[in-house]
Structure 1
Amino acid sequence: MSKAVGVGKTGNKWYYVITVGYDESGKQKQKKQRGFNTKKEAMEARTKALNEVMSGTYIEPTKTLYGDFLKDWLESKKVSVKRQTLDNYKIIIRTHVAPTLGHIPLSKLTALDLQQFINKLQEEGHSGAYMRKIYSVVSESLRKAERWNLISRNPAERVDPPRINKKDITVWNTEEIAMFLNSTREEELQIAFVLAITTGMRQGEILGLRWSDIDLDNKVLYIRQTLSHDGKELMSGGKTKSSVRSVMLPEKSLTALRKHRGTIREKKVAQGRNFQENDLVICTKFGTPVTPRNLMRTFYRVMKEAKVPKIRFHDLRHTHATLLLMQNVNPKIVADRLGHANVRLTLDTYSHLLPSMQREAVQEIEKVFADMKQYAIAI
């Protein structure tokens, strides 16, 4: 039914024109697509468009700019993601995506545009992990544009995602842990560091922990609430579905928690009606959440005083996992304590430990066969 009217050239660029249907009076409805560098490109694109018209999958190119579409996409995400995630999307779009790609019409956004965008991010020195986050925002938004029939195909599908180069994980040994914890004895936030090292909890999970989430008698705590990165919102649930979990507590944690609970009671008495009852394990003297910024300020100061290697707060989580794996704790148990979605993530994260664990495994096998000598196994 549709027939190509041809290709042509305007200035240095080629275009094609096709008939996409007829109006009520029987007059042809034609569409022109410009911007091709060669005649061959224009002809190939025309053939593809004609096939789409014939199969009923043709989507009329929209004049909407990608930047304008992203506003609608963000609006649609409000009902499906947490506020903190939405805020991260907004920052990524405002800082990186919109300035570079926002002026391009959605229908004219190409895989080459996206590849050049990724190359630019790499030249700016962003980490592979951060570039992946940016790429996922672009890819997911264009996937939605395809589902909404605004584009016929998602150009991000033809672009290789940025590679994530694994960084060496820095952890403390038992001596360094002892030196650090000894330096926290007079710190109000000591319990935060104890929990990080003995449970592997994330920063937001620790700062959002409530007394009602802890069962001291049965030596277990439940992660059901987190504090946002900006310290402004207590959010139910965890970072991911698997983050909502229970974690068994060692005696050191239980002792520290009982001591800390007495400190909280003193705060309540001192502040009286000025104390806000949020049931938080870690809180200010007024009962409000301790912000991540204030926690980090104390963390870095105590590290300096203790004269231990400087690490990130998140590395306390890595320290916990490393200690367990080095003690031959089953990786599945470690994954459960950390709230990993699966054990593969745990093994990938701590693959640097595998060589030494392999050696220990071989030694254990040798012990088994040494005990079997009396049976004269012929190997």
Structure 2
Amino acid sequence: MSKACNDQKHTRNSNGEGSIFQRSDKRWCAQIQVDGIIRSFYGIKRSDAAKMLSLYKETLRKKPWNNNGENTKVTVEEFITWWLVNVKLIQLKPTSYDRLECTVKNQIIPRLGSYRLNELTTQIIQEKLIDDLFKRGYSFSHVKKAYLALNACCKYALLPTVRKLDYNPVSGVVLPNSWKFDSSKIRWLNRNEIRKFKKVCISKHKNGKYCYPLGYGMIFIMNTGLRLCEALALRWKDVNWKERRIDVSHNVVTAVDRNSTTKKRIQINQRYLKTRSSKRILPLNNTAYEALTKIKEFRYFGENSYILCTKNGTQNKPRNFCRTFESIIKRAGIEKCGIHALRHTFATELFRKGTDVKIVSSLLGHSSVDITYNIYIHVLQEQKVKAISKIPEIK
């Protein structure tokens, strides 16, 4: 329990019902101990924390096995669904949980859900899940996610407080080598496409207004290599005009609203990024600096407002931005591609100018240089060929 939690007086319920208290940061915290593990739920109001605690206790009452661990009839679908809601939901970021839930519901349950958990064997998992996904043409990423999800669930089932498995059947499963999968090449804009793209981005109507108010935002992203989720979370206060740099420390994601019965997707601003390396200071080249200057002329609503905002000053949605991008490339006569191509274009141009892979990796906010190398291996190989061609014959 954190020091912040200890600062406040607990309001305890009866045994096994949990406790609710206010932390020193003014948030309310509800806690309950289950199987030796303390679960915590937070809310701005006491009622918010109490509601989450109540929902959790209701889920516990629906646990698909009894407390003494003797029930052997629990199925994979029952157990992994319970594990998702009661273990992973409070551990993962919203988007990470959405991806895990998608993997479980679309890959694991349809293939293994009807089996009893204690009947799972390495052979069943290998043939019915891993090999089947591979044969059906799923990507390496999809297969690996299914493997990792089921492995984590089975490890949890091995815990002394759970005791639903005697061994982990996933431990003997073998993943196909990544080279056996078709690798999709990344898409970036070539020099001619960049020229046409920029021309359309800054085009104007006859009345002098820009055809695409977000056009300079596209140019800004292409010259900084930002992820779209990072760019949409930028505020004017993150810009250091004097030192010509921006502070990347937030992002925006779209995730399922777990507090709503409709399960609609909502936009969430996060103070944590994709990886630790994603939090970074990015220098601005001349084009990026000029793009920001242009945007500020007609889309500035104060230092705390978003840079790539709507005409009303509200935060833009990723889908709206992508639609504008799709319209621009269509008008420019560029082959259809995703907005991530702008980030790939930034990296590719750096490599073609001889920038070291470590520097490119740092600018992109990758967690390791290996990730950068694996993504841009085709570009790097091209650079190696050009470098060798410049070396005179050695005799």
Length-normalised TM-score, structure 1: 0.72
Secondary structure of 1:199's counterpart equals coil
Partner of 2:156: 144
Letter in 1 for 2:96: T
Letter in 2 for 1:189: L
Is 2:370 the counterpart of 1:356?
Answer: no
CA pair 351-179 structure 1, distance change in 2 beyond 3 A: same
177-186 or 225-234: bigger deviation: 225-234
Q: Sequence identity, in percent?
A: 29
Is 2:251 the counterpart of 1:226?
Answer: yes
Letter in 2 for 1:135: Y
CA pair 256-93 structure 1, distance change in 2 beyond 3 A: same
| 1:222 positional shift | 1.8
| 1:234 positional shift | 1.0
Q: Distance in 1 between matches of 2:156 and 2:244?
A: 46
Q: Contact (CA 8 Å) 1:224, 1:237: kept in 2 or not?
A: yes
CA pair 212-161 structure 1, distance change in 2 beyond 3 A: farther
Letter in 2 for 1:95: N
Q: Once the two structures are superposed, what CA deviation does each residue of 1:169-222 show, in whole Å capped at 9, x if it has no partner?
A: 222112211211111113122233123211111121111222222212211112
Q: Distance in 2 between matches of 1:359 and 1:236?
A: 42
Is 2:139 the counterpart of 1:134?
Answer: no
| 1:360 positional shift | 4.1
Q: Distance in 1 between matches of 2:216 and 2:150?
A: 40
Partner of 2:198: 181
Partner of 2:241: 216
Is 2:343 the counterpart of 1:307?
Answer: no
Q: How many residues align?
A: 302
How big is the alpha-carbon RMSD for the aligned residues of Structure 1 and Structure 2? 2.6
Letter in 2 for 1:333: I
Q: Distance in 2 between matches of 1:60 and 1:191?
A: 63
Alignment of 1:6-155 (within 5 A): 62-74=72-84, 75-115=86-126, 116-147=128-159, 148-155=162-169
CA pair 132-189 structure 1, distance change in 2 beyond 3 A: farther
Is 2:307 the counterpart of 1:281?
Answer: yes
Partner of 1:171: 188
Q: Distance in 1 between matches of 2:164 and 2:313?
A: 50
CA pair 158-191 structure 1, distance change in 2 beyond 3 A: farther
CA pair 127-355 structure 1, distance change in 2 beyond 3 A: closer
Letter in 1 for 2:234: L
Q: Distance in 2 between matches of 1:288 and 1:244?
A: 24
- The structure 2 residue matched to 1:157, chosen from 171, 174, 193, is 171
CA pair 208-81 structure 1, distance change in 2 beyond 3 A: same
Length-normalised TM-score, structure 2: 0.70
Q: Distance in 2 between matches of 1:169 and 1:184?
A: 22
Partner of 2:20: none
Letter in 2 for 1:240: T
